[in-house]
Every structure is written in structure tokens, then in C-alpha cells.
Structure 1
Amino acid sequence: MLTGLPKLDSIQMYNFSDYDLIIDARCQREYEEDHIPGAVNMPVVNNDEYAEVGTLHRTDKMGAYRIGVAYSLRNIARYLEEEMLQYSRKSRILVYCFRGGKRSKLWIDALETIGYRVDKLEGGWKGYRRWVNAQLASVPTEYHYHVLSGPTGCGKTRLLYALEDAGAQVLDLEDIAVHRGSVLGEVPGQKQPSQKYFDSLLLRKFSAFDPKKPIWVEAESKKIGNVQLPDALLESMRKGQTIVIETDMAQRVLLWREDYRHFEEDPFSMLERLVFLKPLVGNKEFAAWEALAEEKAMPQLFEQLMRNHYDPTYRRSILRNYPEIDASPVIPLHDLSPSGLSIVAKTLCGQFR
């Protein structure tokens, strides 16, 4: 069994990609909160079975194990018949549960009996989680960052996509967080990851980066929706090269109309999310927003929101986190189309190495 997984370079990343299959033997609820990215949930007991065994364990330990093993053998048999047929004898398999104990052993015994090559993650998910926390306290400091700054709607995220297409290393934190980073940032139809799974996804992203090359990233606050960025990452970003993006208001309004189409179709749902701002912006300003929403004058409403709330709020935030921001190079964006941004991205890659 594994006492330590293969590691990559100086940043000591577990190389989970060495495995053809990673089995998470925990119940669905545990898996949904966090798991090794790419792991497949094949629980030996499901949520209800796990709860039943846990309840019985308090009064009848042996009886709980009897029922748990019975459930496990039936569940594993089903996975062997339905899921494992696609994996050959040569496949490398990693198995883990909460601590690397009984649930892992049940899976490993079955797979080894069949003839698969199987490793167990010593310490299980709990050990993995300790490792993730330790890595996120150090790994981000191994890199140099180019930080894109600019008010909402200026095209920072689209420029990140263009930079990635141009071959740059890009860390799109809002993509990992499944959130655009403001009170309006919830992505329709998509749920944010838990904090623990966000950490797992973030660390996996770092495992694909080369420490000799810079990482391009957007300036972010501590929180993106409901998840928080590691302190080591924020501190490292604030030591990086900041680059200010400037875009005229017409382009910014057009971007909002494209990215927030769901609010254009239902402007009052947007104002419902912003109602807590009324004491900050004043009743008169908020009433003006409501009047524009009533008229469905969305270009005017989006512009007024940016000018009278988002821009001054962003300015205060960026000065607090990047006090020297006004000394940064300024990149004007006149064309937010993929072709227009591609030209800018190639220039930036050559200018900032």
C-alpha cells in the first residue's frame, strides 16, 4: 500500500494522473462535499446505509459491521458488474475512504482478488485534506503573477481566455469558483463548489503550472461568492505585476448585456439582489434604478449601476488591496471580440514575461 504518492518537482504535488481510476469509497454526501478531482464515487455504503450503520454502531458494534459488510458486498458486486468492466488488468487503481480504513479495505480485497493493481491512499481523505491545506499555504508562493485590474465589465475575464489561447498560464479563479465575483455573480443553473472542493480544484490547477513561467490572474477580493481564496495566494498576487485594463463604457455595457442576459430579461430579479444597497446608494438612486427596470431600459440601467455603484466600490477595493495600482501600465481595450482580444493577448505575452 502507498505510504506516499509520487510527487512532482519542488512543489510536491501528488501525481494522481498516474492512475487510470481513483475510487472514492465514501458515501455520496461525503463525496459531494469534497473529493480528489477526477475520482469516481463508488460508495461501499450509500448515505442512508451509512447513517443506519452509524446509528447501530452505538449499541451493537458487531451487528453494525455485519450489516455494513452485507451492504458493501452487494454494492461492490454491482459496481464490478456495471462500472469495472471498462478497466483492464493493466489499469492502475487508487482507492480511498475517510481515513483509509475498512471501506478502502473492502474495495481493495475485491479488486486484488480479481487481479487489479491497487494502491490505497494512506490516511484516506482526511490525510489528503491535511495535505491540500498544507500545499495551499506554500504552493502559490512558488509563482510570479501578472494581475489584471479594471472595473466590472471591462473584459478582464475575456482577456484571460485570450491569454490562455495565446499560450499563457492562466488562473481563472471565477471559473473554478463558479461565480463572477459580485453580488450579481451567481451563474444561472450552476452551484458553487464547497470550500473544500474549491481548494481541491485550485490545487489541481496549480499542478499543471510551470513555476518558471508567470501566471495571469484577475484581481480578486478575499471571497468569490461563498468561497475564500487562500491567504498565500492573495499575498502572492499582491506582490505581482499589476496591469490596468481600460474599456469605454459602451463596450462595458455591451459586455454586461451579453454576460447578464438573464437580468436583462428579468431586471427586477437583479434589483432584488441589490436591495441591500439602498442604505448605501440612497433611496433616490435606487428609485432611479427601479424606474429604468420598469422601462426595461437595460443599457441605461447597466451604465448607471456601473457608474454610481460598481466603479466607486471597485476603486476603493483595489486601492485597499493594491495601493500602488495607479503606477501600473495601462492597457486600453477597444474591441472585446475574440479576434480583437487575441491581438492584445499576444502583445501582452511578448511584453510581460
Structure 2
Amino acid sequence: MQPIQVLETADADTTAAFDVIVDVRSPGEFAEDHMPGARNLPVLDDAQRAEVGTIYVQESRFRANRLGAAYVAENIAHHLRTAMDDWAPTTRPLIYCWRGGNRSNAMATILQRVGWPTAVLHGGYRTYRRQVQDELYEQACPVRFVLLDGDTGSAKTEILARLAERGLQVLDLEDLAGHRGSLFGGLAGRQQPSQKMFESRLLTALKAFDPSRPVVVEAESSKIGDRMTPPAVWRAMQTAPRIEIVAPRAARARYLVSAYADIIADTDRLEAAFARLPIPPSPARLEAWRGLIGAGDFETLASALMELHYDPAYARGRRKDGRQAIAQIAVDALDQATQSAVADQVAGLVSGL
């Protein structure tokens, strides 16, 4: 029987040699972040891990080890009968846990004895996480960005999608972060990923791009909801050429009423967003906004919010940046046909960069 292989790196080129990547950590650990494409086959679930840890600290190391071993054996047996039931004899699994210790080695030992050529990641998830941090915090961004800019309500996200349909490389940071990037940008029924998971998704997306071609990304602030754009990407965005969509406020207000229909339908979420505005509205203004909500006049409400908060914030950001856009695309409306026409113009500009 061949010895268990030990990998020193979680580099994608190395891990691609394996048929399945198995994360044996608890479901809670897996949900926070995991290696791209990994399957969660825990040797201890969250409750078991907490129980064993408590006994280890408060009662007896021996008793904790005995109970933990029993749980691990039961859980691995379950996975062998279920998730691994259709694995071919030649399947090559890569196993990792938090730091490449007891949990991954317990799983790897049994799989190797079964006959699968098995490897473990030295250092476990922490090895992978260090590589993510190095690439997103220390190294230069591997792609060239072109920023798609425009005031709030300029349909930038939809135009990004249309650019992707036209074969351009696009990076949708809002989708990766699970947030539309504004005080009103939370998505109903969808929590943001952890910062670590956001960074894993982001690095996976970056590695999929052809570095010889530009990547269009929406001009965002450094914070998307509660998630921060890592330094390597943020630095590249700050020096990227910028294409600006210019649309009148009335057209943007009409678009926002459609795009933010989920917020409009939830008065409590609207009120919560009002409370987070950097410049708190006066009692009189707040009552006026509530009156607009009661009357269903959301276009006027959207226009008021842009006038008070969003448009001045975007203007300050551009003044601070100081760079001129390489092109401005002025439109009178933001309907489907106009979005398509704008995407054509942006595609033509990007192809020349």
C-alpha cells in the first residue's frame, strides 16, 4: 500500500490533479469558508465538536479523545456507505481539516486502507487561507480592470451582465458579496458570505480570467455591504480606466423602483435603511418620506434619496479620485433597449484597450 501523500500547497494547479477535495471540518467551519470545489464530509459535526472540546478542557483529555474517536469512526462509516458509495477504485481524494491534524489524518488513513490513493493537505485549511491572503493582500492583482461608473441607478449591474453575454470578461463584485453595495442593497432572503468566503470566491473568479484581456468591473466603494474589497483588487481598481454612464435623475429613479422592488415591498427594511444614512433626515423630512411610501410614490422617494445622499457621495468620490473618465455615455432612459445599446458602446470601447 502506498503511503498517504502530503501536499505542501493548496495551489489550484496542484489540487486539480485530484478527483475530489474533501473538507472534513464541521459544517459550521465549512460554511464560513472552504477551498473551491470542496465537499463537506465532516468527521465531527458542530455539536459533536463542541461537546468533545468542552470535555477536553473541563474534564478529561482521555475521555474527550475516546468520545471523539467514536464519533469520528461513526461519521466516516456513514460517509463510506453514502457519499463515497459511488467512488471508483481509482478516485483520488485530497483531504483537509483545520490544520492538517487528527481529523484529516483519521479520514485519510481509512480511505487509503480501502484502496483509494489519498493525499492530505499539510497545514489544512490554514495553508489554503494563507495563500488566499498572500494573493489578495500582498501580491499585485493579476488582471487589468476597466471600471463601469455612473451615479446610483445607472443600471450598471444589468449592463455588466449584458457585457458578459457579449463575451467580455466581467467581475460582478456585488454578486460575489451578496449585496447591491448601498445602504438599501441587502438582498431579501440572502445573507452575505463571510469575509473569508467572499475572498475565496473573488480569487476563484480572478484566476478564471484571461490576463491578456481586460476585465470590466463596476466602480464600487471599498466596502460592499459588510464586506471589504481586498487590497490587491482595490489598488487595481483605483488606477483602472473608467467609463461613465450619465443618466438624468428621473430616469435613474424609475430604474431603481424596478430594481429594488424587494426593498419597496418591505417598509421595515426601508425604515432601517433610513436610520443608517450618514446624514440623518430631519423629523419633517422623514415624515415626508413616510408619506411618499404610504402614497406609493417611490420614484419621488428614490429621487429624494439620490439628491440627499447618493449623488453627493458619488461626486465626492470622483473629486477625490481626480481622474477623468476615458468616455462618457449619456442616455435619456434606462429601459432594456437602452441598456443593450450602452452595452454595445462599452464593449466597443473596452475592445480598444
Given the two structures, how large is their TM-score scaled by the length of structure 2? 0.90
Query: 1:324 and 1:251, CA in 2 relative to 1: closer, same or farther beyond 3 A?
Result: same
Which deviates more from structure 2 when the two are superposed, residues 141-150 or residues 50-59?
50-59
Q: In structure 2, what is the Cα distance between the partners aligned to 1:140 and 1:333?
A: 36
Residue 158 of structure 1: how far off its partner (Å): 0.8
Q: Aligned residue for 1:24?
A: 23
What's the counterpart of residue 330 of structure 1?
328
The separation in 1 between residues aligned to 2:108 and 2:269, in whole angstroms, is 51
Aligned counterpart, 2:244: 244
2-side partners of 1:332 and 1:91: how far apart? Answer: 56
2:6 is aligned to 2
State the secondary structure of the residue aligned to 1:220.
Answer: coil
Asked if 2 retains the 8 angstrom alpha-carbon contact of 1:5 and 1:14, the reply is: no
- Partner in structure 2 of residue 50 of structure 1: 49
Q: Distance in 2 between matches of 1:304 and 1:273?
A: 14
1:199-243 Cα distance to aligned partner (Å, 9 max, x none): 111111111011111111111112111111111211111111011
Deviation at 1:130, TM superposition (A): 1.0
- Report the counterpart of residue 348 of structure 1 in structure 2: 346
Kept in 2, the 8 Å contact 1:158–1:336? The answer is: no
Residues 142 and 206 in structure 2, CA contact (< 8 A), matched pair in contact too:
no
Residue 142 of structure 1 and its aligned partner are, at CA, apart by: 2.5
Partner residue, 1:126: 126
Structure 1 residues 178 and 15: alpha-carbon distance in aligned structure 2, compared to 1, 3 A threshold:
farther
| Farther off after superposition, 288-297 or 71-80 | 288-297
Q: Does 1:101 align with 2:101?
A: yes
- Tell me, yes or no, if the aligned pair for 2:44 and 2:72 is still in contact at 8 Å: yes
Which whole-Å CA distance do the structure 2 matches of 1:254 and 1:92 have between them? 54
Deviation at 1:245, TM superposition (A): 1.0
1:64-83 mapped onto 2 (5 Å cutoff): 64-83=64-83
Please tell me the residue identity of whatever aligns with 2:27: Q
CA shift in 2, pair 1:111/1:57, >3 Å: same
Q: 2:61 is matched with which residue?
A: 61
- Cα distance in 2 for partners of 1:144, 1:277 equals 33
AA matched with 2:346: L
Q: Which moved more, 1:53-62 or 1:26-35?
A: 53-62
Give how far 1:265 is off: 2.5
Secondary structure of 2:193's aligned partner: coil
Distance in 1 (alpha carbons) for counterparts of 2:17 and 2:339: 36
Gaps of 5+ in 2: none
Instruction: Indicate conservation of the 8 Å contact 2:150/2:246, yes or no.
Output: yes
Q: CA deviation at 1:115?
A: 1.8
What whole-Å deviation, never above 9, does each CA across 1:36-87 have from its counterpart, x for those lacking one?
1321111101112112222222343233222111111100111111111232
Tell me what 1:263 maps to: 263
> Is the 2:179–2:186 Cα contact (8 Å) retained in structure 1?
yes
> For residues 7 and 125 of structure 2, what CA distance do their matches in structure 1 show?
14
Q: Do the aligned residues in 2 keep the contact of 1:91 with 1:117 (CA within 8 Å)? A: yes
Residues 4 and 339 (structure 1 numbering): CA distance in 2 closer, same or farther, change over 3 Å?
farther
Deviations 1:108-128 (Å, cap 9, x if unpaired)?
112112222222111101111
Match of 1:2, as an amino acid? Answer: V
Aligned to 1:231: 231
- Aligned letter for 2:222? K
Query: 2: distance between equivalents of 1:276 and 1:56?
Result: 43
Summarize deviations over 1:135-188 as a string: whole Å, max 9, x none. Answer: 112455232110111111101111111111111111111100000011111100
- Where structure 1 has 5 or more consecutive residues not aligned to the other structure, the ranges are 8-12
RMSD of equivalent CA atoms? 2.2
Q: What is the TM-score of this pair, normalised by structure 1?
A: 0.90
Aligned equivalent of 1:10 = none
Q: Call closer, same or farther: CA 1:163–1:15 in 2, change over 3 Å.
A: farther
1:108 counterpart letter in structure 2? A
- 1:245 match: secondary structure: strand
Rounded Cα–Cα distance in structure 2 between residues aligned with 1:331 and 1:341: 11
| Counterpart amino acid of residue 296 in structure 1 | G
- 1:53–1:64 contact (8 Å) kept in structure 2: yes
Structure 2 counterpart of 1:136:
136
Question: Identity of paired residues, percent?
Answer: 35
